[in-house]
Structure 1
Amino acid sequence: MSCPDCFRGGRATGEPQGHIETLYGLPTYITGTSTASSTQSTIIFYTDAFGLELVNNKVLADAYAIATGFRVLVPDIIPGGPMSPDVLTMMDQMGAPVSLFNTWGQIKRIAVTLQVMRLVLPFLYRSYPGYAACNKASLDYARKVKADLHPGAKLGAAGFCWGGNQSLRVSAQPAVEGGSERLIDAQFCAHPSGIKLPDDFVNAVMKFKTPVVVAHAENDSTLKTKQVEESEATLRQKVGNGQGENGFNYEIKIYKGVAHGFSVRAVPGNRKEEDGADEAKEQAIAWFKRWL
């Protein structure tokens, strides 16, 4: 499995405050308010692999809407549908220690592993985050949202795991094909999956001077910290320090001692992950309030 941590983590508690309706042809979880007012900005929340099936995504979207006052849209956008949250439990079962001499325990582990592969392999085949079909669906949706905003309202993008790929890549796109206006006015992503470094970081920042934040998990199993640090060095060389120098604003923060998925699937009771998730949430909220 290319990214086992993409399918691990905990389930959040809390009752979603928004509702689901069809928006631009896709079931969309809407929180904050149903419509954008003349001055209200909107955030598109690109989920992890579990989409709207996992309550964590809705609860976190609610937190963004409450803290910023903006409308938050969470589209059911993953081609072929999201991963079943049942995989979270299966991954825990796979990782549980079993004695080599516990024959029944080993048989159960093999059976669970086969169940996981039966779910994960088709998902990766149809919905790997870097696939053109995934990126096109995310881009088309964002452009439709942007086109419907009132003058003065801005569009943000937040992405997690699978969705981090989407939010970075739409940030490198114009509001309309061939245009010069940026599509995304502020971007936050945490532990993005399937990205190409340094290109995806550089393009998200440079193409349209989009303000970009990346929350990186130090122990990410697929996106190595060294790669992220080298990409940040490339950005500094190309555009400056990210604090407005040459008109570019970006921030790359490494969260120590946490793994891929921490910001949206922190395991309850794991203090380091819970603290990291809270800090990443506040980082995103502050960024969106600043730029939107």
Structure 2
Amino acid sequence: MSSSECFENPPTLLISTSNGVGTVQDVGGLKSYVTGSPHSKRAILFASDALGYETPKLRKLAAADQYLVVVPDFFYGDPSYPNNPDRDEWLKAHNTDKGHEDAKQVVAALKSKGLSAIGASGFCWGGNVVIKLAGSTDIQAAVVLHPGRVTDEDINEVKVPIAILGAEMDKIAPQEHIKHLGEILSAKSEIDSLVKIFPGVAHGWTVRYNDEDPFAVKSAEESHLDLINWFTKYVK
């Protein structure tokens, strides 16, 4: 998954943990940004891209009244940064297999608190973590947005309804490959799936868009609506 696209278009600021929207809590042993409804029996786990759990647009997207939303710090205070010359070493230190194990701990912790239905959504690095989660029935549904490099084997293991939202101009996950993954999913008649390619956008468009670009904002908002609709349908 090592590519400069994973580390481009950084956030211009980080959200303070005291902004009144959410709080930082320990969930399953990981520092996590928690927002949404504290009384909900339904939860959504967000797995961030390489820039980490503090990025503003990710936290803005996490605000959902009908769910408890948890955004863990899978990088333990060590997110990457734009144009990181040591990105290969960073990815070795923060591989998605470890992210998957950590995510399972978070899901288990949520279930221990009485959460009865859990969905998971991942972006780039986090998309690969969520696809691994979707290989079990620990979660009820998954949404993956501009993932890293996903293999046929990963998709063959999927056991829950999954939506994959790709970008027309994505070098990491080219639209041809995303469509190929969709063909594999279509053959799994027991699992509902959605594969959608967004025109005119590149890797990271859902959480690293330019607020001054109306087309970029519209495309991101459409992907956010798709995400919400998928979870509304399957995380009940």
Shared topology, TM-score over 0.5? yes
1:85-116 Cα distance to aligned partner (Å, 9 max, x none)? xx2xxx5xxxxxxxxxxxxxxxxxxxxxxxx3
Query: Match of 2:68, as an amino acid?
Result: R
Deviation at 1:77, TM superposition (A): 1.4
Q: Distance in 2 between matches of 1:269 and 1:200?
A: 36
Q: Distance in 2 between matches of 1:235 and 1:212?
A: 9
- State the secondary structure of the residue aligned to 1:50: coil
* 2:125 is the alignment partner of 1:168: no
1:117-166 Cα distance to aligned partner (Å, 9 max, x none)? 14x3432231143xx3222222222233234325xx31000111111011
* 2:37 is the alignment partner of 1:72: no
From 74, 78, 81, give the equivalent of 1:81: 78
Q: Distance in 2 between matches of 1:149 and 1:168?
A: 24
1:12-51 to structure 2, matched below 5 A, reads: 17-34=21-38, 36-37=39-40, 40-51=41-52
Which structure has greater helix proportion?
1
- State the secondary structure of the residue aligned to 2:53: helix
- State the secondary structure of the residue aligned to 2:157: helix
Match of 2:106 in 1: 141
Q: Distance in 2 between matches of 1:267 and 1:277?
A: 10
Q: Distance in 2 between matches of 1:213 and 1:252?
A: 6
Structure 2: which 5+ residue stretches go unaligned? none
Query: Match of 1:155, as an amino acid?
Result: I
User: CA, structure 1 residues 213+254, in 2 after alignment: closer, same or farther (shift >3 Å)?
Assistant: same
Match of 2:165 in 1: 215
Contact persistence 1:262–1:273 (CA under 8 A): yes
* 2:15 is the alignment partner of 1:11: no
From 91, 94, 106, give the equivalent of 1:124: 91
From 215, 219, 223, give the equivalent of 1:276: 219
Q: Distance in 1 between matches of 2:91 and 2:217?
A: 28
* 2:150 is the alignment partner of 1:200: no
Contact persistence 2:185–2:191 (CA under 8 A): no
Contact persistence 2:166–2:197 (CA under 8 A): yes
1:203-230 Cα distance to aligned partner (Å, 9 max, x none)? 22xx3xx111110111111112111212
Q: Distance in 2 between matches of 1:79 and 1:72?
A: 19
- State the secondary structure of the residue aligned to 1:117: coil
Superposed CA RMSD in Å reads 2.2
Deviation at 1:53, TM superposition (A): 3.0
* 2:173 is the alignment partner of 1:226: no
Query: Match of 1:220, as an amino acid?
Result: D
Identity of aligned residues (%): 27
Query: Match of 1:157, as an amino acid?
Result: A
1:227-251 Cα distance to aligned partner (Å, 9 max, x none)? 1212222222x324xxxxxx42110
Q: Distance in 2 between matches of 1:289 and 1:57?
A: 19
TM-score of the pair, normalised by structure 2: 0.88
Contact persistence 2:168–2:174 (CA under 8 A): yes
Contact persistence 2:46–2:72 (CA under 8 A): yes
Match of 1:183 in 2: 138
Contact persistence 1:171–1:187 (CA under 8 A): yes
User: CA, structure 1 residues 140+57, in 2 after alignment: closer, same or farther (shift >3 Å)?
Assistant: same
User: CA, structure 1 residues 12+167, in 2 after alignment: closer, same or farther (shift >3 Å)?
Assistant: farther
Deviation at 1:10, TM superposition (A): 5.3
Match of 1:94 in 2: none
Contact persistence 2:28–2:108 (CA under 8 A): no
Query: Match of 1:2, as an amino acid?
Result: S
Which structure has greater strand proportion?
2
Deviation at 1:79, TM superposition (A): 5.4
Contact persistence 1:11–1:268 (CA under 8 A): no
